[in-house]
């Protein structure tokens, strides 16, 4: 915790909340790379339950997004509605997420073209759906049922854009009014109630649908994106209001709440996986990989309240061991490049699979390639952050008229 009593919300910087982004992005990475990790390191089967539910890193991101944006913008945007401030906020968010999203989409398009040329398989050309590309570029592609295409991971960026619109076009103003009329206990009750829709709906979904796909097809379930992002984003926003005064005072609890909460999250995931009371796998889906269960129970969404506790405690428990770890320079840097890692890692994993298949690697070589893929994913993410994401973000800020303060 780095705030002082004179710190303004715009200047609040909580290093552990940057570091946690690195872990959340890498958690998603392990979900997509878990079978390769199991081939390379057989002992990794002990971590399979955690890797299987790596998609929950997205839910952690949604809560964190609402929290950080509220900490940053609440004071400057909650006095009265100003359409220029709203547009300024949305412009800054576009500058933050769109350039890298668009650039990575072009990389995916290049990848499909290369694969179509090198393999002669027309299926790759079929993935170059121009109308869908336009929807990806306008960030609305995940707002209705459709199969994942182009960069299948940027559905969450489309979801975030939906949340940004609700925040910038009046939501932050209502949040400011809400903060003045409701007690801290009332805020806790509202946050608890907002966790219920995803817990109830998610627990009823087929296992391994990653809280996204419909039960009868590999396409986004109608309404699930809005339900998931809006409840979780606004939980994070209310959490920021709840903790705001404490963060501004710079007080830091000595209790190791973040560490205990992180352990509790892992324990819950393992228990739900081992004793899934609502086992509901998709028909015909392969459950085991080399004897290791790879099905993720959707009931693990019950960790959602623990995610809220984790983020809140990281903001006010700076002396906690986990908070101190997340505030270290490597993890803070990892948090800064986490968005690039999230968007781009399928391309690096694909290159690693191509190398494995072409070389016929086995044994120790699988471990070497796996380590190279992990390292290359982080390095590539840093390059994208350093030369695409950060310059675009700074340019968007410079282009904002000086009289618009957001």
More confident residue, 207 or 342: 342
Extents of the domains making up the chain: 13-399
Query: Cα 43 to the chain's mean position, in Å?
Result: 27
**What is residue 8's predicted lDDT score, i.e. its pLDDT?**
40
**Per-residue pLDDT tens over the stretch 256-284:** 999 999 999 999 999 999 988 677 766 66
C-alpha 359/C-alpha 349 separation (Å) is: 15
Q: Tell me the C-alpha distance between 314 and 20, whole Å.
A: 9
Q: Using alpha carbons only, what angle is made at residue 264 by residues 260 and 267, rounded to the nearest 5 degrees?
A: 140
Q: Over 80: is that where the pLDDT of 349 sits?
A: yes
- pLDDT at position 123 over 80: yes
pLDDT above 60 (res 5) = no
pLDDT band at 10 (very low <50, low <70, confident <90, very high): very low
pLDDT of 292 over the 50 cut? yes
Full-model pTM: 0.93
Helix (H, G, I), strand (E, B) or coil at 404: coil
Average pLDDT over residues 100-104: 98
Query: Helices (DSSP H) in 41-120: which residue ranges?
Result: 48-52, 56-77, 83-119
Q: Residue 306's pLDDT is what?
A: 98
Give the whole-angstrom CA distance, residue 267 versus residue 269. 5
Structure tokens at 164: 């940004």
**CA–CA dist 26, 295 (Å, integer):** 19
The arithmetic mean of pLDDT across residues 78-83, rounded, is 79
What's the pLDDT score for residue 284? 63
Q: What confidence score (pLDDT) does residue 285 get?
A: 67
- Per residue in 363-373, pLDDT tens? 899 999 999 99
Quote the CA–CA distance of 46 and 48 in Å, as a whole number.
6
CB neighbour burial string for 311-322, b if at least 16 within 10 angstroms, e if fewer = bbbbbbbbebeb
Q: Is the pLDDT of residue 341 over 70?
A: yes
């Amino acid at each position: 915790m780095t705030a002082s009593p004179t710190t303004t919300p715009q200047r609040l910087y909580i290093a552990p909340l940057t570091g946690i982004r690195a872990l959340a992005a890498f958690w998603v990475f392990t979900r997509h790379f878990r079978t390769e990790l199991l081939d390379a390191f057989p002992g990794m089967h002990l971590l399979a339950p955690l890797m299987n539910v790596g998609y929950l890193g997205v839910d952690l991101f949604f809560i964190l997004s609402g929290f950080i944006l509220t900490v940053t913008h609440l004071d400057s945007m909650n006095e009265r509605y100003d359409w220029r401030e709203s547009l300024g906020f949305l412009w800054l968010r576009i500058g933050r997420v769109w350039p890298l999203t668009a650039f990575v989409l072009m990389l995916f398009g290049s990848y499909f073209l290369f694969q179509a040329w090198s393999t002669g398989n027309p299926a790759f050309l079929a993935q170059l759906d121009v109308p869908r590309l336009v929807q990806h570029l306008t960030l609305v592609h995940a707002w209705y049922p459709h199969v994942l295409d182009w960069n299948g991971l940027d559905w969450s960026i489309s979801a975030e854009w939906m949340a940004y619109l609700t925040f910038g076009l009046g939501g932050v103003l209502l949040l400011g009014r809400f903060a003045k009329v409701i007690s801290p206990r009332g805020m806790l009750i509202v946050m608890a109630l907002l966790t219920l829709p995803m817990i109830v709906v998610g627990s009823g979904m087929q296992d391994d649908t990653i809280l996204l796909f419909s039960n009868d097809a590999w396409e986004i379930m109608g309404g699930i994106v809005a339900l998931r992002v809006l409840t979780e984003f606004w939980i994070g926003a209310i959490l920021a209001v709840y903790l705001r005064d404490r963060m501004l005072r710079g007080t830091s609890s000595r209790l190791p709440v973040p560490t205990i909460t992180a352990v509790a999250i892992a324990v819950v995931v393992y228990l739900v996986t081992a004793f899934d009371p609502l086992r509901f796998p998709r028909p015909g889906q392969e459950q085991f990989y080399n004897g290791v269960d790879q099905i993720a129970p959707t009931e693990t969404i019950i960790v959602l309240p623990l995610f809220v506790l984790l983020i809140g405690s990281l903001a006010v428990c700076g002396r906690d061991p986990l908070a101190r770890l997340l505030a270290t320079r490597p993890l803070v840097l990892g948090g800064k490049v986490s968005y690039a890692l999230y968007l781009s890692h399928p391309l690096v994993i694909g290159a690693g699979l191509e190398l494995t298949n072409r070389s016929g690697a086995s044994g120790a070589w699988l471990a070497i390639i796996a380590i190279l893929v992990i390292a290359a994913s982080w390095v590539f993410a840093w390059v994208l952050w350093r030369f695409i994401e950060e310059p675009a973000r700074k340019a968007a800020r410079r282009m904002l008229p000086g009289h618009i303060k957001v």
